[in-house]
Structure 1
Amino acid sequence: MDEHPDQLSLAAGLYIVATPIGNLGDITLRAIEVLRGCDGIACEDTRVTGKLLKHLGISKPLWRYNDHSEDRDRGRLIESMRSRAVALVSDAGTPLVSDPGYRLVQEARAADIPVTTLPGPCAAIAALTLSGLPNDRFLFAGFVPNKEKARLDFLGEFATVDATLLFYETGPRLTKTLGAIAEILPGRTTSVARELTKLYEECRTGPAQDLIAHFENHPPKGEIVLLVGPPSANEASDADVDALLRNALETEKASRAAALVAKRTGRDRQQLYARAMELKAS
């Protein structure tokens, strides 16, 4: 164990530790204390966490714990926590926010193992504060699906949610997702936040179609937080509704298309069915 004059003596259990999302100066004093005082660290990638620990001058056993970990790996960590202090970190930000740690916390609590959380950096919250979009109500929905139909259906689930929507996305898929937002959530103010807390931090806001034009000319790298403002009272115009109906009619019967668009727009289902039949006949 590290020798340090101010080293914290930790009780056995699980410690959820938020780490920087970019700027290493964002780590908290309490996080440093726990990482220095714990008996071992469960992490997504030992190489990534190893770099952070080297920067902090800390040396600890690192145990890989990620989406590919098996039940027995989790079981070994649970047993370790009965007599040792184990820290849980993600590659960046707050653990359990769109990463696999919740099962470990769930089983630790079921085993009556003390669980302590140390708040700190979170990309979704940082992006929300930077965007200027309404933040009195927001919904975080994780990563957007990769396949086109799944992406459209996924975004459609949130069409009538009266809140700012937050998603995680990657650079190579960004313009496709912005295109889906323009189609499924037309007229919404959209923000793209990237390189958060780093030298080239950027947050661009505007109609999704305008953002597509920018990022096609300036392909982004790395992970991105994508935000979509809440619907306005008169958001879905007749032209928007027709576009949604035509898209749905490519794969669905008129009744099903009307039901899907009604869910997305709040419009009357029977009127939408009548309009869908008109569009099919035209």
Structure 2
Amino acid sequence: MIELIIDTDPGADDAVALLLAMASPEALRLHAITTVAGNVPVTTTSRNARLVRQWAGCEQIPVYAGAATPLRRAPVYATDVHGDQGMPGVAIEEPRAPLAGGDAVQYLVDTLLAAAPASITLALLGPQTNLALALARAPGIRRGIKQVVAMAGAHFNGGNITPVAEFNLFADPHAAEAVLASGVPLTYLPLDLTHTLLALPERLARLAALGNQAGARVEAIIRHYAQHDIARYGMAGGPVHDATVIAYLLAPELFSGRDLYLQVDAREGMGFGQSVADYHGVLGQPANVHWVERGDAEGFFELLAARLRRLA
């Protein structure tokens, strides 16, 4: 059983990731969802997280609102991809259950300080601001962290917000720098991977054919959200970036990668937000990231369909 906290900025693909996690209670004990500004402002990501929680019938899982702005840079959003409401293709309503009291950063501090050593996995699906703030507030939280698994970065693929930068890192590269410097066990699932696991029409049809609301919602969200990437990159289908993090936790045998040394460029200029991966070890530095570079696309979508079938 993985003891899990999901830090997220829903966001279309974040919504799919949350549903996948909440449909897998035998493998993932989801203690809380923490939200951050990223794809859309934090008020919207917090509402969306609560709405997805409601769809999954998991309103007992607390949702804590976190950082509204990056550490140092001006806020940047991805509404051109995710729409103003963050979840295209589905009806949005105000969720029944409210946010948990308190803020996400203090929740992370309190929970990780109280946790057994190396017991909590953090899944980071958006900018890494909340964790960076928690580490600055209480460096001792490292003791409670088993691993941090993040959808972040790009190397051979190139970026999706600038020619070289992946959005989550571009939105707060200073936070990613701080998390890297902390020495926590860190896994990145970059665009190099996620752009190979595509929601082809036949895979979307499989989700729609599940015959439940979860399958219909996920099919609609992905189909609408994917149009941006299909048009920009000429892909045959759209990626479902953040859901790969949850799939990696559930079925690591579907993925492979390598340990490498990574830096995030937080200098102003063309490289701002770039993940500089020393793929061939030319710098001779010790590895600080496990870089997941390959995945079984059919296996990923089979897993997604099988778990969504469990939901209403």
Q: Say yes or no: TM over 0.5.
A: no
Question: With structure 1 as the length reference, what TM-score do the two structures score?
Answer: 0.31
| Greater RCO structure (CA 8 Å; 6+ sep) | 2
